[in-house]
Structures are given as C-alpha cells and as structure tokens.
Structure 1
Amino acid sequence: MTDQGADAAGRTLPLRHSDDIQGDILAGFRKDHETVLLLRFPDDQRPVRKWLRLMIPQIATTRQVAAFNAEFSAARHARAGIDPAGLSPTWVNLSLTYAGLKFLMGEEPFPDTTLPGVQAFIHGAFARAEINGDEGDSAPDHWLFGREDQPVHAVLTIASDEQAQLELRASELRVAAARAGLTVAFEQVGATLPGDAKGHEHFGFKDGVSQPGVRDFDRPDPRDPIHVDGKPGTRILPAGEFVIGHPKLTGDAPPLPDWTRNGSFQVVRRLAQDVPAWWAQAGAARRQLEQEGVELPPGTGTEWLAARVVGRWRSGASVAHNPNTEPPTKPGAPDDNLISYATDENGHTTPHFAHIRKTNPRDGIAGDFKNADTRRIIRRGIPFGQPFDPSSGAGHGPDTDRGLVFIAYMADLAEQFEFLQQRWINDKDFFQTDAGHDPVIGKDSDITLKLDTKPEGKKLHFAQFVRTEGTIYAFAPALTTLRDLAGR
C-alpha cells in the first residue's frame, strides 16, 4: 500500500502532516456522535486565557486525524467493510467568533481590512440573514442561537464514535469552561442515523457525496491527477480555497493578518427538516404532473420526482447517470460523482433547480469547472434528532425536532458560503434558466421542470420545509495562533 502521507509517485503531501491546522478542516472527524458547545466568555480575560492554555493540548491536529482516518480505513478494508474494534478516539476542534477574537486580542483583529469575506465575519450571521435567505420562519428573531442578544465567543466541536466517550469528554469540557467563568450559550447534539440510514440525512438521501479534494493533502489519482485517488469526480483544489495563507485558484491568497495563516472560516447552522411535509409535497407535485397529462417515463412515481429535486436517488446514485431508475447498490463502489452537466445544458436530465446542481454546477457554467470550483466549501454536517418513523413510537413522529447540524469550512465567507446561498440556492433565475429556488434548502418558489416531452417546462410550486434555527460565523485558528492568544 502507498504511504498515506505521499502520492503514488512518492511525493509527500505536506498538509497531511500539519500540526498547526486544526483537525476537521482538511481531515474530517467523521464520527458517529458529535456535540457542539457555543460558549460565552466572562468579562475578565485572565481566566479565559488560562482556560485556552488548558484547551490547546486537547485540540486535534490535521496530522492526528489524517493518520487515524488512514489507519481506520485500512483496518476496515481488511475486515471487508466492518468497523474495527478499539479504534475510537474523541476529537475536539475550537473556533472563535469575531467577538471572541477581539476579546482575546484586546484590539481590532482585522485593522484596515475591507475584504467582503472579512466584513461578513465582522458583521456576523445575524446581520447577514437576508443575504443567506433567512427570512420568515427562518428569520434570526426565531433563532435558538446566534441572535444579537445572545453573544457567542467560542465554538467547541467534540466528536466520537462512542456516545459514552462523547458524553464524558463533553462533560469534562463543560466543567472546565464553568471553572473559568465561561457559560454555555447553546448545546447541540448530533448523531449519524441508525442502521441502513447511516450516512444519510433525514429526507433519506445519502449525504456528503460531493466534497472537494485538497492539493497537498489528498492523494491524486496517478492516471487522472485532477481527481482524488479512488474517488472519481472528486476534483483536487488548491488548499487556499479552504485554509488561509495558501495559494488559491485565482493565484496568491488575499492580504490578511499573519495570525490568520493556517486557519479557516467556519459556518455553524442548525437546519430543521419537516420530513413528512417535504415528501407529501413531492408526492403532490408528482400527481399534478399526471393530472395535467405531462408525459413521463413509464413507472415513475414520487421517488422519481424527489430524485430530480435532489439530483440523486436515495442511495447517492446520480440522476445524471441513472435518469429514471435507481440502480442496485454495489458494496465498495466509489461514490457516483464523476458527473458532467455540459451535455445537459437545458436541464432535461438533472434539472437546473436540483439541489446538487444548484450548490455545485460543475462544468454547467460555460462548459468548465472554474466558476464552480471557486465556490466550493468543505462540509462536516451531522444529523440531529430521531428518524421520522411514527411506527417506532415516541420521538419519531412529525413533531419531533430533527434536521442537520451544518458545519462548513472555507477561506472566504462572502465569496463561498454567502455566494452559494444568495446567487445560486436562492436565485430564481439561476444562470438565466428560470429554474426557481433550490427546492430542498431554498426559499418558497416555483420551479421549472423541463423534459424531452415538454421542453418549455412545467411549473411546480415547492414550499420551504428546511428552516434555519441558528447560525454562527466563526474562525478556526491555527494552533500557533491559539498559543499566542493564550499567552498574551
């Protein structure tokens, strides 16, 4: 087996060995259980600095997480896909909001900086709600966290494969924070869904299929070096798209203070999902097509329409490669991610409104990937709440809280996360296509379903059944920066 710290030609992948970049940014925690603690600092800096000094040794590094993930994957492969016993560390990541950074620095963190992404960070998600489409039931006045009257200074992400280990570490961290005078402003617990639903979100679709690869971290395929080895279609992008201080697709990184190097901007969102309402809506739209005499492929039902709304079938198989029927699942097969929209310009196969096309148009913009690649983010979400299954008893009904803990990392909040939200997800005229909003996570709108049998398109109304219940903008500093902040 090739060394996980080198590519197929033996060239080192230096970012895999970083003890400065925090874990979960490039090397995902990928755990079954997760707790996010939103913390508020007291007025006195001294106990907070002491708390930070005690926290730093507990923070996972990229080197630690990458090495563990490689060992775990190799052991799992040797056991024919069964998780190995005894490999279950608990990881911790720490990020700071603008208020938290300013508190610890005792001065303006970004002097003389007018970059849009930095301004987004300074103003915070509450002030940027309209840009992100957070209105109506998703308006920040309804949020559980992130409101202006609920200051947050730090975000702790704790992840483990064992719930008992997670609860123990989270308890220890809560006690340590309390001793330093910090208070928990909000606590969010998440866990992968059980059984065959593991790796899927609450609507039932496989999640996290399309993630970007990172140059000098992910091993390129020796036969196709623009893609990650063993992951066809996973494009390798410069590290500067996600980590500050490294080259970007457009060239050198923008000028930011030295302390930001090897850090990453973070978005934390709580997205509530109304599962029965969303599926009822998909079923009603499918019946509308039938009642209005729209000619559809034989045997197509609600699952067919829902797959077009998402751009994938529940298994993760793409509509682009499997237009009308979900293929059998092949254990061990790579994700269906080698997708092109260049030959589907009119959106007859994968609609322009499809969630995966809205959030990653790939080569569907002017026939190349460049525009889409500059908007990519690294997602580290995990579901919260029990699956919707009324037959399973209490806690599984329609009124139970459930949804997604959305966590993402990027180098520019404005040009990546906010651009996705405003210009693609919630743009009705997505690339002059009259597509409508993203019917999975976007605002209410009409969408235009185009078919070979009806090229002019058919309007269907989709209401919003994913509700924002809180958002935080934070920054995950390098370990070097955290040590400097703790020692000031």
Structure 2
Amino acid sequence: MQNPSPNWKLSAPVAADTQALVVSGFGRLETGRSLFVALPLDAGGAWVSALNEKIPVTEAARTGRGKLLDRAAAIAFTASGLERIGLSEATLASFAPAFREGMFQEDRLRRLGDRRKDKWLDTVIKGGPRWSGNVAAPETIDAPEAYSVGPEKVSSHIATDLTVHALILLYAHTEADADALVEEARAALEPHGVKIVHQLPLLLDVESSGISREHFGFADGLSQPLPYDADGAVERGGGPVTEPDPVHGVPLGEFLLGYSNGHQEHPPGPVVPGEPDAEDGGRPERAGLRPHAEARGFYDFGRNGSYLVVRELHQDVAAFWNAMNKASEIIQSKDPDATHITADWIAARVVGRDKEGHLLRPGGAAPAGRNDLPDNEFLFFDKDRHGFGCPLGSHVRRANPRDSLAPEESMKDTLLSAANNHRILRRARKYGSNLKDPGKDDGADRGLLFMCLNTDIARQFEFVQQTWLLNSDFHTLFEEVDPLVGPDGWMTLPEDPLRRRIEVQTFVQMAGGEYFFLPGMAALRYLALL
C-alpha cells in the first residue's frame, strides 16, 4: 500500500513534464525490477533515447483516476553518470552539494550512521557496501574495466567495487512481464556499451485489506505527505490544492524542483548554458527546456525533477523476531504477571504500530480510519504526549514526530509545521522472498529498496536520518537510537507505573546506496541529445 491518504495529481502542464514516480508508487503493478547500470566513458545520451523508445519513461500525465497502466518505468542518474553522459562541468557544479558529493563522502557516511573512524559500522553489511555511484571518481579510470574504480582513486570518498551511473525502475503485473521488460531494456542498452551491473526484484504484495507488509511483517508505506501548491500545480478531487492539509500538508517544492518549498522559496536546481550560435536554438530549446527565470543565458534543467535517495537495506528477519522473543522471555521471567508482554507486543512498540498498521495509543491501538485502513490523521501531543502508547523512541515516532516535540501546548502547530519541513516522499519496495519461519534464517537475501524523493537532501533525508532516527538524545531519551534501523542498543518502553527496557540488535544493514537525480521529461530529452 503506497498511500492510503487522498490521491493527488499534478496539473496537466506539470504532469506532462514530470516522471510519474513523483506522483505514484504504481501500486496496481505488483512486481518489478530495479536495474542498476554502468556507463562506458564518454557514453553520451544515445542510450537514453534507445531505452526510451523500447520502454518509454512513464509521464505523470498517464496516472490518475481511471488511468490503468500495464507497465511503468522511471530513470534516475548519479552525478558520475551525468558526467559520463556529457553534462558540462559548469552544469554539474549547479547541482546540490549533497548530490555532487554523493552518499559515500566520508562526512555524509558518518552523518548517516554508516561509517566512523575508518570503519564500517554494524549497520552496514559485512565487508562494506557492494555499490555506490563512486561520484568522486576521476573521469579517466586506470582499471581493467571502465566500470569500476579502486579505493585509492577517490579522495575523501569511500569507493565501492561496483559503480552505478543510473537506476532504471520497471513495474509490471507479473514476474513474467517484469522479466520481459528486463530483456527489452538489455537489448536497448547493450549496443551502447551500457551494462546492467546489479538488479533487484521489486515486490508489492497487497492484501485484500488494502495493506502490504515489509519483511518483518508490519504494514508498510502508510504515512505520506500531501503536497499542495499556491499556484495550482497540485490537484485533488477535481480541483487545485492551494492550502495545506492540517496534518500532512507540505509544499510541492519540497519534492519537485521549480516550485515553492516550506521556506517560501524555490529550491535551487541545476541549469544548462544556452547555445546562442546554434541555428535551431540549440539542444535546450529542442528538448523543451525553459529559460531560467533568474540565471540569464541558462536553461532550467532541474524544473519538474527531484533528487532520489536510494538505499538497499538488508533485513535480518530471524534476528528481529528472535530478539523480540528473547526480550519478552526476559521480562516475563522477572515479572510473571506481565503475561501481556509477548514478542508481538514488543515488536509493535519497536515499530510504533501493530502489524495491521494501527497506531499504538494508551489503552490499545487506534481504530481504523478512512476506508477501514489505518488512521493516519493522528497527532501525538494531545493523546500520547509521554509515549505510553506509541513509545517516544519507536520507529514511527522518530521517522515523523509530527507535533510530538512541542514543549508546550501553544507550540503544537509550530512544531508540526517544522516537522513537515523535513518530510520525504517515499517510494520504497521490498525485495526477496518472504521468510517462511520467522525464527529461522534461510540464508536468502531480502530487504527493502528504500527510495524517497526530496529537493533538499541535507534538510530532508539526511536530517531525518541523523537528527531523528540516529539521535541518541531524541525526545528526552538518553543513549538510545532507532530500535528498528539503528545499531545494537537499548529501548525504553514506558508503562504505568514503571518503565521497561529491552535490548535490540542490528536488524537492518545497508548493502549499497547513492543520491540520484530524477529529471523531468524535458531534461531527459536534453540528455538524450548529448
């Protein structure tokens, strides 16, 4: 289930120039593939055109009520990939610093909780991540193949053996359809020397109740922001959405470049220089790029694009449930009357919701909301300020504290608004088969391909990761981090009259990741002309 909140779409002119991934997780297409590709040196953009001819990138205009897709596709690029396609040095310099530096710049790795003091942390797979964009790699690589870069080649960056220059996302109804799409993509890419160096299956097994579950068994993807735009670029229910939703309202500019964000300004986006001597107006005009409103002589390459954060997260399902069972046994051994504290009871508090996705509140889970789906309109301050239902350190509360951090009642709205300024638009899907016996590891690789859209990587994704999820002093807590995605540690479970503490381990490990640029359709056409 990608978003039980009211559906929204972009106005017609905007939708025609925006990739559909911005407005849809393609929830009706149950399966898919993520193709991580590497480009040869001086790749140019002909391969982009060839791929788009065989598998057209889906425009946002093709989604919405009554528009059912049999297949869908999206494409995004790392900074190193855009360099190999042929974007100029000046254009590359106009991208956001976080994107240019990449996720594997040492300061960012420390900020994200992946690496510290020259060592990978336990929240990373053994031996270190498999892939990244290696965005600091030099243009010419002294290596047997043009698709890898050794660690000695990257200054202040940590290199991976596998270099990814672009991500192609394919969505379909069946496994056979998804496999066919992969072969179509391969046929388009190989003549241009573009290699698929890594791929993951994408799964969204929606149940009859309308929810889908991640591998730990909990309903996933339940809370999403609801964009609005004062100039009418967002529509819902047949009309423009110009005012924010009371709980989830976030300006469109937080997720799409070229529109006003939470600070009432347009986030800076990349630009390409004009070509005044070209007889036909040059590539920018042929591609349909607009002249930039402020940078004279440049075209707006970022408009209707976004930054896509991608992290491949391996989930140790057996370790999670064995830890929950052990914690419940320890508590019951010390307190025989605590018969209500089962593995499910503890796991729900680690997540912050029960398995069906209902928020925990004092006295029990919250009742269902719209369409009998889990209620997502809740706020914390009035009904569970001290975390006796949904613990202060739970994953749900850390990932989006809503008004929970308000020190007093008069500041609820202010803190809710502040929290919404850090929201991300989630597009994650799980990969790998479900574990049949939750207590016994079968050795298979399974997890979540975390993907989210934002226009300010540092203020949105990185802030959430560093300041909320991995902050050991979050919300009056002390030396505790996120119990679901953090490292080994402790978690406090408030109960009346006494609190309880449980020990948690590392259940989720990063296997690869990078920051990508998801271009608008005009920018994609520009790349194809290079």
TM-score, structure 2 as length reference: 0.77
Asked whether 1:347 is paired with 2:387, we answer: yes
In the alignment, which of 324, 335, 357 is matched to residue 397 of structure 2? Answer: 357
1:96-136 CA distance string (max 9 Å, x none)? 100112222442255665x9xx2221121222322211242
Do the aligned partners of residues 148 and 108 (structure 1) sit closer, same or farther apart at CA in structure 2, a change above 3 Å counting?
Answer: farther
**Distance apart, 1:247 and its partner CA:** 0.4
CA distance in 2, matches of 1:270, 1:112: 27
- What SS class does the counterpart of residue 364 from structure 1 fall into? coil
Counterpart Cα distance in 2 of 1:92 and 1:472:
19
> Number of aligned pairs?
444
The structure-2 alpha-carbon separation of the partners of 1:121 and 1:361, relative to structure 1 and needing over 3 Å to count, comes to same
Task: Pick the aligned partner of 1:379 from 426, 429, 434.
Answer: 426
> CA offsets per residue over residues 441-487 of structure 1, 9 Å max, x none?
11222122222211xx3332211111111112100011111111222
> Within 5 A, what are the aligned runs for 1:254-269?
254-257=267-270, 258-269=300-311
- Tell me which residue corresponds to 1:204: 217
1:435 shift after superposition: 7.0
Does residue 238 of structure 2 align to residue 238 of structure 1? no
Following TM superposition, by how much is the alpha carbon of 1:143 offset from its aligned partner in structure 2, in angstroms?
1.6
C-alpha spacing 1:462/1:25, structure 2 compared with 1 (3 Å): same
Helix, strand or coil: the match of 2:17? coil
Q: Partners in 2 of 1:342 and 1:221 — Cα distance?
A: 33
How far apart in 2 are the matches of 1:384 and 1:476?
21
> Match for 2:101 among 112, 115, 123?
123
Pairing partner for 2:83 from 98, 102, 108:
102
Match in the other structure for 2:466:
422
Query: Alpha carbons of 1:280 and 1:268: their partners in 2 closer, same or farther (altered >3 Å)?
Result: same
- Distance in 2 (CA, whole Å) between partners of 1:273 and 1:155 is 22
**Structure 1 partner of 2:45:** 49
Instruction: State yes or no: 1:219 paired with 2:260.
Output: no
Give 1:300 shift.
4.1
2:451 counterpart of 1:451 = no
Moved more, 338-347 or 241-250: 338-347
1:80 paired residue number: none
2:109 aligns to what SS in structure 1?
coil
**Matches of 2:122 and 2:469, distance apart in 1:** 17
Q: Is the 8 A contact 1:56 1:479 kept in 2?
A: no
Amino acid at match of 1:217: V
Distance 1:337 1:330 in 2: 7
Show the counterpart of 2:295: none
| Residue 195 to residue 236, structure 1, CA distance change in 2 (3 Å) | closer
Q: Specify the SS of the correspondent of 2:20.
A: coil
Cα gap change, 1:64 to 1:221, in 2 (>3 Å): closer
* CA pair 423-346 structure 1, distance change in 2 beyond 3 A: same
Report the Cα distance in structure 1 between the residues aligned to 2:351 and 2:323, rounded to whole angstroms.
14
RMSD: 3.0
Q: 1:331 to 1:476 in 2, by over 3 A?
A: closer
Check whether the contact 1:145–1:185 (CA below 8 A) recurs between aligned residues: no
Say if 1:293 and 1:161 are closer, same or farther in 2 by CA, change over 3 A.
same
Distance in 2 of aligned mates of 1:358 and 1:92: 32
Q: Please list every run of 5 or more consecutive structure 2 residues that lacks an aligned counterpart in the other structure.
A: 1-5, 115-119, 133-158, 271-299, 407-411
Equivalent residue number for residue 177 of structure 2? 165
Q: 1:405-456 CA deviation, whole Å, 9 max, x = no partner? A: 11111111111111111111111110333371111111222122222211xx
- Output the CA distance in 2 between the equivalents of 1:279 and 1:109: 51
The answer as to whether partners of 1:32 and 1:161 remain within 8 angstroms in 2 is: yes
Residues 196/443 of structure 1: CA separation in 2 closer, same or farther (3 Å cut): farther
Q: 1:432 to 1:195 in 2, by over 3 A?
A: closer
What is the alpha-carbon distance in structure 2 between the residues aligned to residue 43 and residue 225 of structure 1?
45
- Residue 196 to residue 279, structure 1, CA distance change in 2 (3 Å): farther
The one of 351, 371, 377 equivalent to 1:338 is 377
Shift of 1:226: 6.3
C-alpha contact (below 8 Å) 1:193/1:386 kept by paired residues: no
For residues 293 and 65 of structure 1, do their structure 2 counterparts lie closer, same or farther at Cα, with a shift above 3 Å needed?
same
SS in 1 for 2:248: strand
> What amino acid does structure 2 have at the position aligned with 1:54?
A
CA contact (8 A) 1:35 1:188 kept: yes
- Between the aligned partners of 2:244 and 2:372, the Cα distance in structure 1 is 16
Q: Does 1:249 align with 2:262?
A: yes
Q: Quick one: which amino acid aligns to residue 52 of structure 1?
A: V
Question: 1-side partners of 2:176 and 2:378: how far apart?
Answer: 40
The TM-score with structure 1 as length reference comes to 0.83
Q: Is the 8 A contact 1:94 1:155 kept in 2?
A: yes
Determine the structure 2 residue equivalent to 1:21: 18
Query: What is the one-letter code of the residue matched to 1:239?
Result: L
Task: Show the 5 A alignment for 1:70-89.
Answer: 70-71=65-66, 87-89=68-70
- CA–CA distance in 1 between the matches of 2:516 and 2:306? 9
Alpha-carbon deviation of 1:398?
2.9
User: 4+ runs of 1 displaced by more than 6 Å?
Assistant: 224-228
Q: CA deviation at 1:266?
A: 0.6
Q: Find out whether 1:132 has 2:112 as its counterpart.
A: yes
SS at the partner of 2:355? coil
Q: Percent identity?
A: 29
Question: Runs of 5+ in structure 1 lacking a partner?
Answer: 1-5, 73-86
Per-residue deviation, residues 137-180 of structure 1 (Å, max 9, x unmatched)? 44485222214442221110001122222111111101211111
Asked if 1:292 corresponds to 2:287, the answer is no
Report the CA distance between 1:264 and its aligned residue: 0.6
How many Å apart are 1:399 and its aligned residue?
1.4
**Contact (CA 8 Å) 1:308, 1:350: kept in 2 or not?**
yes
Bigger mean CA offset, 213-222 vs 381-390: 213-222
Q: 1:221 and 1:260 mapped to 2: Cα distance?
A: 28
Structure 1 residues 467 and 259, CA, compared in 2 at 3 Å: closer, same or farther? same
Please give the alpha-carbon distance, in whole angstroms, between the structure 2 residues aligned to 1:324 and 1:359: 21
